[in-house]
């Protein structure tokens, strides 16, 4: 993030996560129109000068630059969820999986460990999580999980951990509790899921705490 951008982003409306990532492929600019909030995708121009002039350019072309966010994957996430979920007819798939895999509640403390462990969930490899900020080097392939417990129901969180492809068919995110349909899985991983049923419940229990 260049030094000027935080200055440009001050203001009450900028409650979007500030991008700490070193590279930004595109910026999304929210512009207001009398009818609705529109999301416009703008090819990212990097560097302090370009960010500044990008804002000016947008102002110059008549849009009011309300927010400039580096990679608002959360916004895209919802959009994608809406469009994909709209095509899903099964109520179980659309609403997630309400029933616990183990029949019991998970342990959020164990879930926290599995979220970090590179051999388990390793969620922070791709997601930024403020509650896990003691752990260094969070990735940014996926949206931040801050507030995931408010954005999704427990059933949806469970479904997302078990197999996110039911919501997002093209996602890079692994299915953490699926063993079918995988190819070239070597020993000792073949036949087993990445997370056990109990570990899925632990992770879901931790995600629910992210309000």
Contact residues toward another protein (CB under 8 A) are 2, 21-25, 44-47, 49-50, 52-54, 56-57, 59-61, 124-126, 136-141, 172, 174-175, 181-186, 189-190, 194
Q: E strands within the chain?
A: 26-32, 37-43, 65-69
- Reading the block at residue 46, the tokens are 């990097």
Least gap, CB of 43 to another protein (angstroms): 8
Is the distance from CB of 25 to CB of 76 less than 8 angstroms?
A: no
Cα–Cα distance, 69 to 1 (Å, whole number): 11
Q: Which is nearer to another protein, 152 or 176 (by Cβ)?
A: 176
Least gap, CB of 191 to another protein (angstroms): 10
Least gap, CB of 112 to another protein (angstroms): 17
Question: What are the start-end ranges of the H helices in 35-153?
Answer: 48-60, 73-87, 91-95, 108-116, 148-151
Q: Which is nearer to another protein, 29 or 205 (by Cβ)?
A: 29
DSSP 83-100: HHHHH---HHHHH---S-
Least gap, CB of 136 to another protein (angstroms): 7
Q: Which is nearer to another protein, 77 or 95 (by Cβ)?
A: 77
């Amino acid at each position: 993030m260049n030094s000027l951008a935080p200055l440009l982003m001050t203001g009450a409306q900028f409650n979007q996560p500030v991008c700490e990532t070193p590279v930004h492929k595109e910026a999304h600019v929210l512009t207001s129109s009398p009818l609705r909030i529109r999301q416009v995708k703008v090819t990212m121009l990097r560097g302090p000068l370009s960010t500044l002039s990008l804002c000016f350019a947008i102002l110059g072309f008549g849009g009011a630059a309300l927010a400039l966010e580096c990679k608002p994957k959360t916004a895209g996430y919802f959009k994608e969820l809406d469009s994909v979920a709209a095509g899903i007819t099964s109520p179980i798939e659309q609403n997630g999986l309400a029933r616990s895999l183990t029949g019991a509640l998970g342990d959020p403390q164990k879930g926290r460990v599995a979220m970090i462990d590179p051999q388990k969930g390793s969620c922070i490899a791709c997601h930024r999580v403020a509650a896990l900020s003691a752990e260094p080097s969070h990735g940014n392939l996926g949206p931040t999980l801050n507030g995931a417990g408010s954005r999704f129901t427990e059933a949806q969180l469970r479904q997302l951990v078990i197999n996110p492809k039911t919501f997002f068919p093209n996602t890079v995110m692994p299915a953490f509790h699926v063993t079918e349909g995988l190819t070239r899985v070597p020993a000792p991983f073949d036949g087993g899921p990445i997370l056990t049923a109990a570990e899925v419940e632990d992770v879901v229990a931790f995600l629910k705490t992210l309000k």
